[in-house]
Amino acid sequence: MTPRERVVKFLNGEPVDRPPVFSGMGNVIRPVLDKYGIVFSRVHRDPAAMAKAAAGMYKDFGFECAVVPFDLAVEAEAIGSVVNYYDDVDSLLYPTIKEKCVKTIDDIKIPADLSKAGRIPVVCEAIRLLRKELGDEVAIGTYILGPFTLMGQLKELDELLEESFIEPEKTNEMLTMASDVIIKVLKLYHDAGADYLTVREMGATSDVMSPNSFRSLVKPHLQRIHAAIPRPNILHICGNTNYIIKDMHECGANAVSVDHKNCVPESRQKLGDKAIILSGFDPVKVLMQGKPGKIGPAAREMIPGASAVWPGCDIWPEIPGENMRELVGALKE
């Protein structure tokens, strides 16, 4: 099978020769950036550089995907939040929100044409360039924040959490607006050529939100999103999600993705044999800080109960090339 066939068939629940070795989140590392002369602080605003970096993870390391973008601020910036790209910093830092644009619901101003808003056209063009370069050989992935997490990029998270208890109807209205944006943007990414879509609802983790709050506040919006967006698609939530793993599955995604804090055999027991569970290893402690010879065994520890193993979050750019090669080789075995 080609990597694209393997990823798409796997996510659709069809038979494959082996589980794919891929990710649905940001992944690019310094060896790729250095090889192609790409400056990390600028890659987020340059579709050609973005596509070249994403393709390099497959061409140079055999990672069976090409995923863009590389940061979590694209949609929030398009709506009005201000991003820090760290242009004056030598180390590789992901862009972050330095100024949020929402205090009340009246501050939310959704652009009339999201296809032209902020860096959304940059991501769309990068996807088109990837499809042109890679053809049908490699699966192209993209991702977006879930509605609660996206609102946390627009509004102070502590205020959002507080208001969700005091005025849940207002929070629900804001999440509806955020969900509308997510659906429209993911359709734009799909139309540009993305093969699979990941919704990352990290802010609604059980580490900060009770299962009851997740079910009443966030789950209905995730169900609406996954019913509306193209398939295959994936839902990722960080932390120990076994408190809400059944709810995640009921959101309607093709697959659920969990990070290293989750007990995957317990997830499997709760969801049954047919559910597609993507078990995430710690990309910092395993991939970046792990010593050669230890990467493969640490990643393979995540296999019991999992349909496939992938990074539990973005791959940190400072990961050594030899660690990446060991990871890909071990999981392909």
Residues 333, 143: Cα–Cα separation, whole Å: 27
Q: What is the dihedral of CA 256, 257, 260, 263, to 10 degrees?
A: 10
Instruction: Report which DSSP code applies to 330.
Output: H
Contact 148, 202 (CB under 8 A): no
Closest CA to 276 of 4, 15, 2, 10: 10
Residue 319's φ and ψ, nearest 5 degrees, are -65, 130
Residue 144: domain span: 3-332
Domain total in the chain: 1
Residue 311's φ and ψ, nearest 5 degrees, are -65, 140
pLDDT band at 300 (very low <50, low <70, confident <90, very high): confident
Which tens digits make up the pLDDT trace of 147-205? 999 999 999 988 988 888 888 899 999 999 999 999 999 999 999 999 999 999 998 88
Which tens digits make up the pLDDT trace of 1-11? 999 999 999 99
Between these two residues, 89 and 187, which has the higher pLDDT value? 187
Closest CA to 164 of 210, 200, 202: 210
Which tens digits make up the pLDDT trace of 217-268? 999 999 999 999 999 999 999 999 999 999 999 999 999 999 999 999 999 9
- The first and second tokens of residue 223, run together, are 């169900």
Residues 222, 178: Cα–Cα separation, whole Å: 11
Contact 11, 254 (CB under 8 A): yes
The pTM of the full predicted model, rounded to 2 decimals, is: 0.96
Residue type, 59: K
Closest CA to 79 of 146, 159, 151, 149: 151
Given this model, what pLDDT does residue 3 score? 97
Helix, strand, coil content of the chain in percent (nearest 5): 50, 10, 40
The pairing of strands 140-145 and 196-200 is: parallel
Which CATH number belongs to the domain containing residue 258 in this structure? Answer: 3.20.20.210
Between these two residues, 205 and 275, which has the higher pLDDT value? 275
Given this model, what pLDDT does residue 182 score? 98
Residues 195, 140: Cα–Cα separation, whole Å: 5
Instruction: Report which DSSP code applies to 281.
Output: E
- The first and second tokens of residue 78, run together, are 């398009």
In DSSP terms, 82 is beta-bridged to 99
CA distances (Å), origin 147, targets 59, 91, 100, 178: 34, 30, 16, 5
- Mean pLDDT of the region 91-108: 94
Closest CA to 221 of 275, 277, 182, 258: 182
Given this model, what pLDDT does residue 278 score? 97
